[in-house]
Chain A
Amino acid sequence: MKLTKYMASGLLACSMMLVSNASFSACATDSLPDSLAGPDGFPERALTMIVPYGPAGGSGQVAQAMAQAVTELTGVNINRDHKPGGSGTVGMTAYMALPSDGYSVLEHIDDASSAHALDSSKPNPASDLIPLVISQITFSQIFIRTNEDRYTDWNSFVEWVIAQDGKATIANVSKEGSMERVTMKAISDATGMSIQQISFDKGAPRYGALAGGQVDALFEQPGDVRKFLDAGTFKPILTILPEAPSAFPDVPALSGTGLDFEPLYRFRGFYVHKDAPADRVEWLKWAFQKAYCQQSYQDYNESKYMHLIDSYRDTEGARELITATISQYREVYKEMGLDVK
């Protein structure tokens, strides 16, 4: 059975909407009040944001951008406490051990959802935490070197990979059950190509592997390799979205290549303990959702191509996205023969 059966079944109910340039002028949380008094003077001191990844990567950067935006909006400082390791497990564990008084928040990515899908004893971000906002949702692409002459586009790439009989390589973060590995499995099943995934857990060696010709292609989100795109070093040959977004009109998307599956997305958001006082949670929701529309945050998101699809989810939208994602991953894991607990 092909993975695409499950990935095409529409389990990800809130399918991503492409954002046109015209709709970008209004921001998602413009309707929220410009200011909101915290309950009983909350917060009386700085907040702590647990970040389960290092300061220099994509998660560290979005944490920094959101903390800055919240501070600009409310005047409340946010101390970022980076606890990297264990694919986000260490940061999550450290956060769950903190008092649920509303003074600490957690940044996390879709890895938390896929981890729960694989092992339900791990926290479910939709129910064991309260999502304050999801502020980045992005898609993936497949990249090749611009000066590559063995193949120049998606069709010639697929043809070349098939001819290599399993010896072609692609760099990604292919740990067991990752979004990258699941997506590549779906692509391989649909095209009939066999490609060796080489796992690099850090960005620099991963991008260096493509730039230096150590691998034949790269699976990545466009915002993370924007400098290589702007420099003309890499070029995308496949956008893993149903339709091509406005920034990549000439790059084939799933619908134009016969790849019929619902793509998985990378998303990053902010959470608070489910047992935190309700009135404090309401203030935090306002602060983080409103901060999403601060100019500094919008500029940051745009620099990372996060404006091409609707990157915003409020609490309920985030819960829907997480729940659908967990369900989708769980089905795919079962299909892949993984031990789903």
Chain B
Amino acid sequence: MDTLTNFINGTIALFGDPLGILIFLGGVIGGMLFGAIPGVSMLTLAAILLPFTAHLSPEHGIMLFSVIYCTGVYGGAITAILFNIPGAPENAPTAFDGYPMTQKGQAGKAVGAAVTCSAIGGTVSAVIMMIATAPIAGWAISAFGPPEIFALVFFGLAVASSVGAKTFWKGWLSILLGLLIAVVGLDPVGGIERWDFGMPYLLAGIHFIPTILGFFAVSEVFVQVEKKARGSYSAPKVSVDFPSLAELFAQKIAVIRSIVIGFFCGILPGIGATLAAFMGYNEAVRWSKDSKEFGTGKMEGVVSSETANNAATGAAMIPLLALGLPGGALTAMMVAVFQMHDMEPGPLVFLNSADLVWVVFSAMFFANLSILLIGFLETKTIINLLRIPFQFLAPLILLLATIGAYAVRGLPIDIVVMFIAGIVGFFLRRSGYSVAGIVLGLILGKIGEQTFAQAMQMLHFEWSGFFSRPIAITLIIAGMLTLLNSIYSSFFKKST
């Protein structure tokens, strides 16, 4: 009852203030727009707005950032589905099936599924956040240390070997290539320089955003240019059909599973929405009877990814508010907003600033709901971008991707990396390798290497130490079984 009362009070405080409503709407629309355009992500918007939040009340400042977070995570799905350009890394798995759906003339259904499931994932996550922030935060940091997170990454990679590649072995080679790329730069524990070829900029490593833009957007432009040159190009059919209720209801298991996965990944400090989206997608593949259809335009792929990444948003607020531990870049910026107002997120925030917390909770709840409304309107309008002729669209995509690659760190080398990834992706895609696997290897490789090194230090370099940690060993055994099953299938089943 207290929770409901607090929620109602937070809602009244939010919508009883004209300036609050204006900031809320600005955050909703700004997050979606910046999330949708590669390179100018929600982080860009947040960085621009950060100094101005000093002139807002603490409630308005934190609320603005939390709303941008919710809608920004969704916004990147639109370009992922329509043009194979994920607006942010957490939308990359959405492109795996979203873009093929567009090519099949089902863009409306894909965007509709993304809208609906982003809203559901985010809203459920916000509700859980309201009910149980403190106990969940405490449990997460106690139960999940580096050994458990490494085991989770291992499990994710074992499952991912079947995503997007023609054979198990090509899937694993793709992942291993991603892992290899991930080791470029300083090693995450000892700071040892690796594979920099004397170029200082490579010490920062290969960033996954230029890589994603290259493998997805640039290589796709090359593929379509080749089709155009061969005379086999056909523009995608423009359809604004929303998925039916029956189609959406059929995704209920995928939605529930991705909410659990997304929420779980979101509460782990430093993990966040990107891993949530990949894990959500991977588990959908793993549990599906039609796993071979993933990557060819299966709605469940879009549903799983988008539900999971939005479910991570509410969850990421839990360690931030309860413990002062930001889960990612945007939540870290929220810490700066708190500090600008002489506040610190953490246990005392619930005691000292309960009103603020409940305004933020209410705003996140309604921001996720508003995705449904604004997303529905978007579906009916933005899909018409597909009507732009390819000769105009292709340079626009390359321009946006180039800006996006450069904007991440302001380093020219990221543009070079993007075009190399585009060329490599062009050839790999036609030979049955998985660009999704490479990207996953790159993203999870960085997390996995660091947590593996930390785990081994914590376990005193004894492998048997994993057996003393039930969650870690369970995930490792599950990953091993998945791996063995895949190897068995690759040898004894013709279909693989």
Q: Which residues of chain B from 373 to 423 have any CB-CB distance to chain A below 8 Å in the complex?
A: 409-411
**Bound-state Cα–Cα, A231 to B347, Å:** 6
Nearest A residue (CB) for B148: A214
* A109 to B: closest C-beta gap in Å: 14
**Bound-state Cα–Cα, A234 to B47, Å:** 30
A204 and B326 form a contact (CB under 8 A): yes
**Bound-state Cα–Cα, A287 to B409, Å:** 28
B138, B269, B335: most-surrounded residue (chain A CB, <10 A): B269
* A207 to B: closest C-beta gap in Å: 6
Report if B470 contacts A (CB, 8 A).
Answer: no
Stretch at the interface among A5-13, A78-86, A152-160, A327-335: A78-86
Q: Which residues of chain B from 171 to 194 have any CB-CB distance to chain A below 8 Å in the complex?
A: 185-186, 188-192
A90 and B200 form a contact (CB under 8 A): yes
* A305 to B: closest C-beta gap in Å: 13
B269 and A204 form a contact (CB under 8 A): yes
B interface: dominant SS: helix
Q: Which residues of chain B from 398 to 455 have any CB-CB distance to chain A below 8 Å in the complex?
A: 409-411, 450, 453-454
* Contact of B458 (CB < 8 Å), options: A68, A84, A198: A198
Q: Which residues of chain A from 77 to 111 have any CB-CB distance to chain B below 8 Å in the complex?
A: 81-87, 89-90, 92-94
B190 and A176 form a contact (CB under 8 A): yes
* B339 to A: closest C-beta gap in Å: 7
**Bound-state Cα–Cα, A56 to B201, Å:** 21
Chain A residues within 8 Å of B144, by CB: 212
Chain B residues within 8 Å of A87, by CB: 186, 191, 203
**Bound-state Cα–Cα, A175 to B457, Å:** 13
Chain B residues within 8 Å of A85, by CB: 185-186, 201, 203-205, 409
B269 and A208 form a contact (CB under 8 A): yes
Report if B132 contacts A (CB, 8 A).
Answer: no
Report if A29 contacts B (CB, 8 A).
Answer: no
A interface: dominant SS: mixed
* Contact of A199 (CB < 8 Å), options: B270, B324, B454: B454
Per-residue contact bits, chain B 330-369, to A (CB 8 Å; 1 contact, 0 not): 0011011001001011111000000000000000000000
Taking A56-B336, A61-B339, A89-B200 as contacts, is the C-beta distance between A83 and B142 under 8 angstroms? no
A196 and B460 form a contact (CB under 8 A): yes
Taking A84-B204, A86-B185, A175-B189 as contacts, is the C-beta distance between A197 and B457 under 8 angstroms? yes
* B150 to A: closest C-beta gap in Å: 12
A205 and B270 form a contact (CB under 8 A): yes
Q: Which residues of chain A from 198 to 233 have any CB-CB distance to chain B below 8 Å in the complex?
A: 198-202, 204-205, 207-209, 211-215, 226-228, 230-231, 233
Chain B residues within 8 Å of A92, by CB: 200
Chain B residues within 8 Å of A317, by CB: none
Q: Which residues of chain A from 214 to 257 have any CB-CB distance to chain B below 8 Å in the complex?
A: 214-215, 226-228, 230-231, 233
* Contact of A212 (CB < 8 Å), options: B142, B186, B333: B142
Taking A94-B411, A228-B346, A303-B342 as contacts, is the C-beta distance between A200 and B454 under 8 angstroms? yes
* A301 to B: closest C-beta gap in Å: 13
Q: How many of A's residues come within 8 Å of B, CB to CB?
A: 52
Nearest A residue (CB) for B332: A56
Report if A167 contacts B (CB, 8 A).
Answer: yes
Report if A277 contacts B (CB, 8 A).
Answer: no
Report if A64 contacts B (CB, 8 A).
Answer: yes
Taking A85-B205, A200-B454, A227-B324 as contacts, is the C-beta distance between A303 and B339 under 8 angstroms? yes
Q: Which residues of chain A from 292 to 308 have any CB-CB distance to chain B below 8 Å in the complex?
A: 303
* Contact of B329 (CB < 8 Å), options: A56, A174, A196, A201: A56
Chain A residues within 8 Å of B324, by CB: 207, 227-228, 231
Nearest A residue (CB) for B54: A68
Per-residue contact bits, chain A 166-205, to B (CB 8 Å; 1 contact, 0 not): 1101000011111000000000000000001111111011
B142 and A215 form a contact (CB under 8 A): no
Q: Which residues of chain B from 451 to 494 have any CB-CB distance to chain A below 8 Å in the complex?
A: 453-454, 457-458, 460
A169 and B203 form a contact (CB under 8 A): no
**Bound-state Cα–Cα, A234 to B348, Å:** 13
A227 and B204 form a contact (CB under 8 A): no
- Known interface pairs A90-B204, A199-B190, A202-B270; 10 further A-B residue pairs with C-beta atoms within 8 A, sorted by A's residue number: A83-B410, A84-B409, A87-B191, A87-B203, A199-B454, A204-B270, A204-B327, A212-B144, A228-B324, A231-B344
Interface residues of A (CB under 8 A from B): 54-57, 60-61, 64, 68, 81-87, 89-90, 92-94, 166-167, 169, 174-178, 196-202, 204-205, 207-209, 211-215, 226-228, 230-231, 233, 303
Interface residues of B (CB under 8 A from A): 47, 50-51, 138, 140-146, 185-186, 188-192, 200-201, 203-205, 269-270, 319, 323-327, 329, 332-333, 335-336, 339, 342, 344-348, 409-411, 450, 453-454, 457-458, 460
Q: 7 closest A-B pairs (Cβ-Cβ)?
A: A85-B204, A175-B191, A212-B141, A86-B203, A56-B332, A227-B344, A214-B145
- The 25 listed contacts between A and B (C-beta, < 8 Å) are A82-B409, A83-B409, A87-B186, A87-B191, A90-B200, A167-B460, A174-B189, A176-B192, A197-B457, A198-B146, A199-B189, A199-B190, A201-B188, A201-B450, A204-B319, A204-B332, A209-B141, A211-B141, A214-B458, A215-B458, A227-B348, A230-B344, A233-B346, A233-B347, A303-B339
